[in-house]
Every structure is written in structure tokens, then in C-alpha cells.
């Protein structure tokens, strides 16, 4: 019986009897301790005045059936201050009808299930699931207590991901320890600055670098709130921007010549192309010479990121930028000016070679969560569910066990 009690997480209780029906299991319990501590004067007393009505408390699912605990709380009289009070039940919060273990079971199920499937399994409504989810995760959003406790330098990552179409949200994470710190509701500068200013003053000096994409909004927000922190532009976004520019030029040429121009051969790394694909690439570049400069610049940027040090990368940038601004193509000139503006932040990559690869992995997980949940209408619920999935093992398990 003792092992069964431990399995249920009711070590502080004694099971007096149990029964079951087709869908429910009823377990009658009573608290083992014979005394209680007075909430008024903190004195311990053993004088029981009366018993309350039988309370029914949900305790999750046992043997695929709903588990209900039936308990009578004792009313104690304190011999020191003569006041009467009800004993506390260790497995349930005050004035609630569900145990902590049941909340844990329901919320943890949400980490890789939809709200509708959780409702079918536990018979808990959507608003209640959202309430428990927020109760669990809210305190951990944009919390830098671990960094404050550790005291070690770390790199902060800031990136964006789509919530729905062009509705973007901003993600912030600790790249060094691989921890998502939180998700903003939008891409607004004032919202980002508010979060960066909320970082404890003892933690700010620990931020050695901030990795961003080529977003002026992020750059200005970081410079205004963390002026002494080095800013690095993620190299993935540099190549992504190059691919986007090539694709835009390819689309324009398709419309002009009314001919299909294959996309994949320009997006794929040149060293990964097969012989037949290389032949197609050479043919397309001869047929559409406008693409030659775009494609060549992308490959030169990729070669730049193979540089051994910052000086070698600077020499490559000094060669790439003038070659773009010297042309008579407006798009290439614009590209050259963009690279010139971001040049110091691009070159900062060679200081410690920090990237936003972890944040991109988080974005893939966020997309998976959206598919599992069949999409979200409420952005706040989406953010909390993302935080649940990411923080589950490292933070939330200790919270529930405490």
C-alpha cells in the first residue's frame, strides 16, 4: 500500500478506502500528521475541534480513469491564541479543487499536444488549461535569474519569426546556454527596448555580444539600451538576403522573357551541385547575364565566411562592396550600400564567431508547435505554449516538485 501511495504522490496521506466506477476512481484519504501549525501565532496544536464537509479533489488520471480524492479537513483550535483554523492540505493549493499533480499532468500534456486533445483526455476546459499554463510559465518569461546567479559572460540572440503571415514576433534567447528567454508580441522597437531595459543591471555587463539579423530596428534598440555591447549580424541572414535578391532578379527576368528560370540551382551551394546541374547553371548565366553578378556576389560572400580572421574578411568586403556600387544596376548598388552600412557588424562575427543558429532551431520548434495545435488565434497563448515546450526540462520540473 505504501508504494501505491508514493506512486500517487500522496506520501503525507493515508488511504482509508477506495472504490471505482466505469469512469472514475474514488480514493478516501486523511492526513497522517496529528497536529497543525496555527497561521495566526505559528504555535503547534493537536486539539481538533471539528471536521469539515467531505471535499472532492481531482487528482489526474489513474488506470485510464478520472481519479478523485475525498478528504475531510480537520478544524483545529489553537491553545495559545484560542483561534480556530483549518489544516492545510499539502497536495492542493488553498480553495482549489485540483491537486498540483493534476495541473502538472495537464500542462505537461500541452507541451506536445493540442488543447482539444487535452480536453478530451482530461475533461479540462480550454480557459482552465490556459489559466494553468500562464500560472506556470509567466514567472519564467524574460527572467535572467540564472544568468545573475551564474555570473558568466553570455551572448544574447534577437531574431524574428512569423506568428501569422506578415505578423512577426521577436524572440530573445541566451545563445551561450541555449535558453529561450521570451517572445515579444510584435517587432516594435519600444517593446524590445522595454525588455532590454528590464534586464538587471548586474546582468547587462555580462552580455558580451548581441546577435541580430539585418534589422535597423534591432540595431538601434540594442545601441540605445546596451551601448557598450558588441553587435554581430548573423551570417545566415547575410546569405539569406543574397538568395532573396537573386530570386527577385530571377522573377523579374521570368516576367520579361516569359520563360521559366529554375530557382533551385541558384539557391543551392555551388559545391553541392551535380555535374548536370552545373551545366544548367552555366547555361542560365550565359543566357541571362544579369544574374551573373548576383550569383557571383553570393558565392563571394560565402567564400568570405571561410576567412581565417577578421583582416582577411575585411579585405574580401573591400573587394565585394565597390564591385556592386560601381555597376549601373540599381539593385546591385542598393545591395552594396546595405553591405557597407552593416560592414562593421558583419566583421564582428570573427571576434568569437557567434551565430543565431540556436534561435533558428527554436523557430523550427515554434512552427512545429503551431502545426500540432492547428494554429493559434491568441498570440499570448502561443507564446506561453512555446515557453512551456522549451523550459519543460530545465525549469518547470523543479517548479512542480517544490
Q: What is the DSSP string of 227-267?
A: TTSEEEE-HHHHHHHHHHHHHHHHHHHHHHHT----SHHHH
Give residues with Cβ within 8 angstroms of 330, minimum separation 6.
Answer: none
pTM of the prediction?
0.81
User: What string of DSSP letters covers 39-94?
Assistant: TTT--EE--EEEEEEEEEEEEEEETTEEEEEEEEEEEEE-TTT--EEEPPPTTS-T
> What is d(CA 345, CA 317) in angstroms, rounded to the nearest whole number?
12
Q: What is the pLDDT of residue 22?
A: 84
> What is d(CA 228, CA 205) in angstroms, rounded to the nearest whole number?
8
Q: What is the pLDDT of residue 8?
A: 79
Stretches where the chain sits below pLDDT 50 are 393, 397-402
Hey, is 185 helix, strand or coil? Answer: coil
Hey, is 170 helix, strand or coil? Answer: strand
Radius of gyration of the chain from its Cα atoms, rounded to whole angstroms: 30
Q: What is the pLDDT of residue 1?
A: 54
138-234+355-399: CATH class:
alpha beta
CA distances from 41 to 46, 49, 91 (A): 15, 18, 23
How far, rounded to the nearest angstrom, does the alpha carbon of residue 326 sit from its chain's CA centroid? 43
User: What string of DSSP letters covers 296-341?
Assistant: HHHHHHHHHTT-SSHHHHHHHHHHHHHHHHTSS-HHHHHHHHHHHH
Q: Could you say which DSSP state residue 168 is in?
A: E
61 CB neighbour count, 10 Å cutoff:
17
Q: What is the pLDDT of residue 399?
A: 47
- Strands (DSSP E) along 140-205, which ranges? 154-164, 167-174, 179-183
Closest by CA to 251, choosing from 242, 260, 243, is 260
Dump pLDDT digits (tens) for 355-386.
999 999 999 999 998 898 888 889 999 999 98
Joined grid coordinates for residue 322: 565597390
**DSSP bridge partners of 58:** 68, 98
> What is d(CA 169, CA 342) in angstroms, rounded to the nearest whole number?
23
Joined grid coordinates for residue 150: 551564474
Q: Where are the domains of the chain?
A: 1-96, 138-234+355-399, 235-350
Joined grid coordinates for residue 178: 541555449
Q: What is the pLDDT of residue 400?
A: 46
For β-strands 154-164 and 179-183, DSSP reports them as unpaired
CA distances from 150 to 57, 91, 138, 154, 254 (A): 40, 32, 22, 10, 55
Amino acid at each position: 500500500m505504501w508504494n501505491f501511495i508514493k506512486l500517487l504522490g500522496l506520501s503525507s496521506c493515508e488511504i482509508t478506502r477506495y472504490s471505482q466506477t466505469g469512469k472514475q476512481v474514488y480514493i478516501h484519504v486523511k492526513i497522517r500528521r496529528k497536529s497543525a501549525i496555527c497561521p495566526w501565532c505559528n504555535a503547534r496544536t493537536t486539539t481538533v475541534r471539528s471536521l469539515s464537509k467531505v471535499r472532492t479533489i481531482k487528482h489526474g488520471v489513474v488506470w485510464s480513469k478520472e481519479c478523485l480524492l475525498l478528504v475531510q479537513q480537520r478544524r483545529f483550535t489553537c491553545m495559545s491564541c484560542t483561534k480556530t483554523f483549518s489544516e492545510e492540505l499539502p497536495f492542493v493549493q488553498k480553495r482549489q479543487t485540483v491537486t498540483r499533480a493534476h495541473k502538472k499532468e495537464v500542462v505537461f500534456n500541452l507541451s506536445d499536444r493540442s488543447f482539444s486533445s487535452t480536453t478530451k483526455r482530461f475533461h479540462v476546459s480550454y480557459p482552465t488549461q490556459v489559466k494553468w499554463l500562464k500560472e506556470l510559465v509567466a514567472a519564467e518569461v524574460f527572467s535572467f535569474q540564472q544568468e545573475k546567479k551564474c555570473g558568466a559572460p553570455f551572448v544574447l540572440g534577437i531574431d524574428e519569426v512569423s506568428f501569422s503571415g506578415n505578423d512577426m514576433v521577436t524572440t530573445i534567447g541566451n545563445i551561450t546556454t541555449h535558453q529561450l528567454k521570451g517572445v515579444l508580441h510584435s517587432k516594435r522597437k519600444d517593446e524590445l527596448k522595454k525588455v532590454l531595459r528590464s534586464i538587471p543591471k548586474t546582468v547587462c555587463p555580462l552580455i558580451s555580444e548581441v546577435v541580430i539579423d539585418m534589422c535597423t530596428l534591432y540595431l538601434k534598440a540594442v545601441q540605445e539600451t546596451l551601448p557598450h555591447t558588441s553587435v554581430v549580424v548573423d551570417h545566415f541572414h547575410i546569405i539569406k538576403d543574397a538568395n532573396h535578391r537573386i530570386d527577385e532578379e530571377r522573377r523579374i527576368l521570368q516576367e520579361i522573357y516569359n520563360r521559366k528560370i529554375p530557382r533551385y540551382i541558384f539557391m543551392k551551394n555551388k559545391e553541392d551541385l551535380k555535374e548536370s546541374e552545373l551545366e544548367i547553371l552555366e547555361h542560365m548565366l550565359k543566357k541571362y547575364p544579369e544574374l551573373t553578378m548576383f550569383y557571383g556576389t553570393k558565392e563571394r560572400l560565402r567564400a568570405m565566411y571561410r576567412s581565417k580572421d577578421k583582416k582577411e574578411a575585411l579585405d574580401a568586403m573591400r573587394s565585394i562592396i565597390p564591385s556592386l556600387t560601381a555597376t549601373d544596376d540599381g539593385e546591385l548598388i542598393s545591395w552594396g550600400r546595405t553591405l557597407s552600412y552593416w560592414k562593421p557588424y558583419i566583421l564582428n562575427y570573427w571576434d568569437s564567431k557567434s551565430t543565431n543558429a540556436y534561435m533558428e532551431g527554436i523557430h523550427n520548434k515554434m512552427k512545429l508547435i503551431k502545426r500540432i495545435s492547428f494554429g493559434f488565434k491568441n498570440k499570448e497563448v502561443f507564446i506561453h505554449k512555446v515557453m512551456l515546450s522549451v523550459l519543460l526540462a530545465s525549469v518547470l520540473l523543479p517548479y512542480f516538485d517544490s
